[in-house]
A = this chain, B = another copy of it.
């Protein structure tokens, strides 16, 4: 008799019970369909990479959060912390085979040893799209429209908040603050949460920006309040003293004009000049996405344009545009909603166990239902009928099928709708199929 081991899950990790796994797999297949509808093809890369591929690619933060170790062959390896760095490695390695532009999607888990919090796990799924090898605004617009379409497929009202690094860069340069761009963006990003006073303090302390410059900085971020036409005309006003802004504004306008043509709904996007994005490699459009009903969970999809995806791996320039949906955050939010369906079974019919004398008969009925695509469970062991009904209730299986000896003799069976209690007797397969089709919505 061996000692029992406590069954437990690592901190920050989670098991998916059927209800959660069903919901998640439905979400994944809707997202994948959206991605494919917009011309993206799937790829996959290994969970484990050489550590040198991953270290120093994200930030000091992601380096610290790496699951890194020596494998049995003493190789320095690590679990991927995102899908972008593996894509860069992949694009550099397979460039000749992929063709340009390369539109790929990748839906897969990543691992980060960060502090677990609500809606945040150490293992989580990212849903990434990228169009590599192109420089036009069309690619940026396509990426944003794809993300919006996927969120629509999930029936999640949302808003993309869009900024342009080219605009911020031109403006900061005009103010002589080019070199402090990261610190400034980081400070300005906090205005919603921390308030204006705190941001001013941080700008002075961390970025050594003086009060005159701060007023000028706010001139940009305050434009956020107006509608998009207002923001653009405000930007044009600023451009009268900083003409470098104009080409960046032109690009932004062109991109925005394209979004409705690519299917984005009114209100599903707006300019927000305070959007920063933590990652340094972005060079053009950047965006984050709020859920209208759950703004508190923060951005659930983000992305942007980069000039050179794989510079650490290849001399080949790979400009492009990409984005990522944070599936587990959305899932956590949905699971807190009462209206979210949490069916814990996909079975439509439970064929009750009426004893061995009817087993072959019941198996045959089961197979006929399955063959027309009705998900059907055959209750395997003999058990009290009351317990079998309890099982069907617990599993939220809508129909129970009764085929005992009487029914077998007459070559019929009956079906009980467990949601209404209604009993349908003397059915044959065809009647059963139409009954289930009609009532199972």
Contacts and interface: CB of A to CB of B under 8 A. Distances in A.
A78 to B, nearest CB: 10
A379 B48 contact: no
Nearest to A311: B2
B261 A360 contact: yes
Contacts of A395: 99
Q: How many copies does the complex hold?
A: 2
A325 to B, nearest CB: 17
Contacts of A208: none
Contact of A15 (B25, B45, B123): B45
Interface in A24-81: 24-25, 29, 32, 36-39, 41-50, 52-53, 64-65, 67, 69-73, 75, 77, 79
A43 B69 contact: no
A378 B39 contact: yes
A427 to B, nearest CB: 19
A212 interface: no
Contact of A313 (B7, B18, B99, B312): B7
A234 interface: no
Contact of A139 (B363, B373, B375, B381): B381
B138 A37 contact: no
A136 B381 CA distance: 5
A202 to B, nearest CB: 29
Contact of A370 (B29, B64, B94, B263): B263
A60 B78 CA distance: 25
Nearest to A6: B313
B373 A37 contact: yes
Contact of A123 (B46, B50, B367): B46
A219 B123 CA distance: 53
The CB with the most chain B CB atoms within 10 A, among A41, A42, A366, is that of: A41
Contacts of A373: 37
Interface in A174-205: none
A382 interface: yes
Given A46-B123, A47-B109, 8 more contacts: A4-B313, A8-B93, A18-B104, A29-B29, A38-B375, A65-B72, A149-B370, A263-B367
Please give me the 9 A-B residue pairs with the lowest Cβ-Cβ distance, nearest first: A39-B377, A69-B69, A261-B363, A13-B46, A16-B44, A18-B41, A139-B380, A7-B92, A7-B93
12 contacts: A2-B312, A5-B52, A13-B46, A15-B90, A18-B42, A21-B43, A41-B344, A47-B79, A67-B71, A103-B377, A262-B367, A262-B378
